[in-house]
Amino acid sequence: MVDKVKKIWLEGELVDWDEAKVHVLTHSLHYGLGAFEGIRAYRRTDGRTAVFRLREHIDRLLDTCKLVFTVPRFSRTQLVDACLHTLRENAMDEAYLRPLVFVGDGAMGVFAPDNPIRTMVVAWRWGAYLGKEGLEKGIRTKISSWSRNHLHVGLPRAKMMGQYTNSTLAKREARMAGYDEAILLDTSGQVCEGSGENIFIVKNGRLYTPPLSVSILAGITRETIITLAREEGLTVSEEPIIRDQLYLADEAFFTGTAAEVTPIREVDDRTIGEGKIGPITRRLQQRYFDVVKGSDDSHPEWLTYLR
Ligand SMILES: Cc1ncc(COP(=O)(O)O)c(C=O)c1O
């Protein structure tokens, strides 16, 4: 359950949590057209709160809106301010932020071009998405029987609401079979990503991650980790990965705003490396946490301070 906070930003105003309601004929509720983001704000070791890569998330939100014809009536600056305002009004020093742009009620039927495009931002407290223990010891994963949406079926660059039925089915299948997370391949068998995370493997000291030309979300954490890994002197290749390479990897991990950097210790009951967080994963996870909430100030351009 999400813990209630005081206010939700809805259509330019902060309204009480219990008053942030929409009609049951909300178009997006029926057909899934709409854009959203997941953003984290952390309290850093100096006590100040910074939102991580806020502008990049809002840019991706607006890209998604463009891709799916749900252009909000708010500008980039207004959306950035809406996120900061929501955190301030709720006196939150750490939070997960969820901006969402959706098609409101009006006409029914899938076309409905004149329905209002509505925008909201909600913040809640969210710990480690794949569990604290998962962050430390690694998680067990299963290759999903569901394929990742084919390039002809979806819009991988879009963080679009409706596409998440694919993720939800895969996640539920994995959890119901006793695993922590799903890994989705595309219809030609290439490794894509987790249900809500990008994936990396380590082999012989090099990092590999699927390229943006396959059906994956262009993860902001993925890009962050590629940058940090190169700064650490590691070689990162964005190239196609097949299932066998996953099974034979020395290390594997997921990246995502929610999942942060979560080691993978098992894929389809095969132990990855030594079945625990590997040295390169540990190094990158540490660096990531230092940058997002520690005292590493090497990327000030990624931080938007609340005050
Ligand atoms: C399907 C999917 N892939 C990857 C990611 C990771 O993206 P990011 O690092 O921008 O949070 C997410 C999370 O938003 C996701 O939902």
What confidence tens digit (pLDDT) does each residue in 108-140 have? 999 999 999 999 999 999 999 999 999 999 999
Residue found under tokens 């329905």 = 115
Query: Catalytic residue among 159, 171, 203, 276, which?
Result: 159
Ligand 1 atom with the shortest distance to the CA of 167: 1
Query: Which of 83, 99, 124 is at the close of a domain?
Result: 124
Ligand 1 centroid–CA 194 distance in Å is 9
Tell whether 266 is covered by a domain: yes
In this structure, the answer to whether residues 140 and 274 fall within a common structural domain is: yes
| Dist. CA 84–CA 49, nearest whole Å | 10
| Dist. CA 283–CA 277, nearest whole Å | 10
Coil, helix or strand at residue 289: helix
Which residue CA neighbors atom 16 of ligand 1 most closely? 196
- pLDDT, position 82: 98
26 lines ligand 1 (CB under 6 A): no
Phi, psi of 142 (to 5 degrees): -135, 135
Which is nearest to 303 in space by CA: 30, 18, 53, 4? 53
In this structure, the answer to whether residues 113 and 27 fall within a common structural domain is: yes
Give tens-digit pLDDT for 187-223: 999 999 999 999 999 999 999 999 999 999 999 999 9
What's 47's domain CATH number?
A: 3.30.470.10
Give tens-digit pLDDT for 248-273: 999 999 999 999 999 999 999 999 99
Mean of all residue pLDDT scores within the chain: 97
CB 124 within 8 Å of CB 6: no
Q: Catalytic site residue 159?
A: yes
Give tens-digit pLDDT for 59-94: 999 999 999 999 999 999 999 999 999 999 999 999
Tell whether 300 is covered by a domain: no
Its domain, for residue 188, covers 132-293
Strand-pair partners of 237: 208
Indicate the pLDDT class of residue 1, thresholds 50, 70 and 90: confident
Tell whether 32 is covered by a domain: yes
Tokens of 13: 């105003």
For a mutational test of ligand 1's pocket, the pick from 217, 261, 284, 292, i.e. the residue with the most ligand atoms closer than 8 A to its C-beta, is 217
222 lines ligand 1 (CB under 6 A): yes
In this structure, the answer to whether residues 137 and 110 fall within a common structural domain is: no
Sign of CA dihedral 112, 115, 121, 125: negative
In this structure, the answer to whether residues 109 and 136 fall within a common structural domain is: no
- pLDDT, position 262: 98
- pLDDT, position 307: 84
Tell whether 33 is covered by a domain: yes
Tell whether 89 is covered by a domain: yes
What's 169's domain CATH number?
A: 3.20.10.10
Query: Which of 90, 124, 158 is at the close of a domain?
Result: 124
In this structure, the answer to whether residues 169 and 257 fall within a common structural domain is: yes
| Dist. CA 242–CA 37, nearest whole Å | 29
In this structure, the answer to whether residues 23 and 53 fall within a common structural domain is: yes
Give tens-digit pLDDT for 26-61: 999 999 999 999 999 999 999 999 999 999 999 999
Write the DSSP string, 131-147. Answer: -HHHHHH-EEEEE-SSP
Number of domains into which the chain is organized: 2
Tell whether 302 is covered by a domain: no
